[in-house]
Structure formats: C-alpha cells, structure tokens
Structure 1
Amino acid sequence: MIYLASDHAGYELKNQIGEFLKEMNLDFEDVGPHTYDAQDDYPDFIIPAAEKVAEKPLENKAIVLGGSGQGEALAANKVKGVRAALYYGGPKDIITLSRVHNNANVLSLGARFLTMDEIKEVIKLWLATDFTEEERHARRLEKILAYEMKK
C-alpha cells in the first residue's frame, strides 16, 4: 500500500499524484489533507502516514510532499521503522540510491521545486527500484533499527 500526505504547499500535487497512482493501478490511501488550508501543520498528516508505513515497513510506502519536503522528511523519520528520503531536484541517482542502499520506504518531495512531470518520473523510478540486500547495506540498516529499538 502507498500512503499519500502533504501540507498546504504540496496539496495540489498530492491530489495529482493520487490520480497518477490510479492510472498506474496502484493501491493507495490519501491520508490528507483533504481540503486546502494555508495554516495547516504538516506533522498532522505526515506522521499518521509514516505510522501506517511503520505497520509493515518492508511492504508499505508513502509519498509525502511539502514546500521543500525537508520538514516532511524530518517528521516521517521520527517514526520507528521509517526511512524517509528527500528529493527536490538534481540527479535521479539520489532516488535510486535511496532504495538500493537505504531501502527508503517514504519519499519526501519538495513541491515548490518539482514539476508534475518530474514527480511522475521520480515516483516511477522509486517504486521500480528494489533494495539490494547487499550485506553492508543490510548491516547498516540493522544498526539503525537496533538504535530505534533502544528508545
């Protein structure tokens, strides 16, 4: 399952991403916001989406959006089991490596820096890329998980 969430800056693109996921016949749930509110607070939507990912962190994914995507990535990464990667433009290798090396299960996008065409390309790449399960990368993720479990 893919979960979508944003703040006001990403609201319109979030809705467009939902349409795009429908076209791709992918299961998704829009966690919100469901109406535009210029005063909304991104943690109110991002954290619930991240919690849904954390229920099945190897199966579920989320795509979250904000003006820069930075606050959204920070909020999502506070949830145990979530590995959010930030993208707001630049080399697409960042997207590939977020999956191959880090097994990122949340993609945080900077809505003010990306066009919908770029977002579609990035989402396709992110969803199509698998974690390598290479020993060194798995070992590093296990260390992060062990730290999370201490809290």
Structure 2
Amino acid sequence: MKIYIGTDHAGFELKEELKSFLESLGCKVKDMGAYEFDETDDYPDFIWPVVKSVAEDISRGLDTRGIVIGGSGQGEAIVANKVRGIRAAVVYDEYSAKMSREHNDANIISLGNRTLTIDKAKALVKI
C-alpha cells in the first residue's frame, strides 16, 4: 500500500517518526513535506499535495491512503474533505480509527500531534 504523508511544523517530528514506522511495516511512504521544521509554515501548503495525490491515485484504482498531521488535526481534515473522492477523518483513539475505516471508508486520517503520543499515533496508523 502507498501512503502519502504531510504536515506543517506542528507535526513535523511525529511525521518523521511515522514515516520510519510505516516503512518498517512494509508500506511505501511518500513524504509530501514539510521537509524541515519551520514554525512559520502553514498547513494547507503541505496537506493539499497529500490530498491531491491520494485523490488522483484513487481515481486510477490504486490502493492508496493518506495521513495528515497538525496540532489538533481538525483544520487538516477540513482542507482534505474539500476534494471530491476524499473521506478524511480525525482519529484520536482506536475506536475512532477503526470506525473511520470500517464504516466510513476513510482514505485519509488526520492526527493531532498536540493530542497524541508517538506510541498512540503508531497504534492508530496500523488500524
């Protein structure tokens, strides 16, 4: 499975951790930025490329997912859900992650770096 991942400064460290973790699980991860910590960057600049790439791959029938990360994950999900074919869900515990996939067919999950530990985020992306 191919996974696109992106964040602004609010989730930069978590993105780096999750990239390595997902690759260790055998996932092909495409990092869409931010590529360095810059506290003045803005999340739409990094979320949009993830969302557009996931939508394009899905339209071609590819098995693709996305992960977007922000402070709370809320704004990132709002940006993502503006694109046709995208179903983004903010996930914060195992139940919300499981239901977003099984019942809502979410193809992008949005994580809040300020509300999750690294271990919790790793558990959520495995669902």
Scaled by the length of structure 2, what TM-score is found? 0.92
Aligned residue for 2:84?
80
Please list every run of 5 or more consecutive structure 1 residues that lacks an aligned counterpart in the other structure. Answer: 126-151
Tell me what 1:106 maps to: 108
The residue number in structure 1 matching 2:11 is 10
Q: Does 1:23 align with 2:24?
A: yes
Q: 1:47·1:79 contact (CA, 8 Å) conserved in 2?
A: no
RMSD: 1.1
Structure 2 match to 1:44 = 45
The one-character-per-residue Cα deviations of 1:51-84 (angstroms, maximum 9, x if unpaired) are 0000123621111100000011011111111100
Q: Is 1:69 equivalent to 2:73 in the alignment?
A: yes
Shift of residue 86, structure 1, vs aligned partner: 0.2
Q: Any gaps of 5 or more consecutive residues in structure 2? A: none
Q: SS state of the match for residue 32, structure 1?
A: coil
Normalising by structure 1, we get a TM-score of: 0.78
CA contact (8 A) 1:70 1:108 kept: yes
Bigger-Rg structure (1/2):
1
Supply the AA of the counterpart residue of 1:40: D
Counterpart-to-counterpart distance in 2, 1:7 and 1:15? 12
**Percent identity over the alignment?**
47
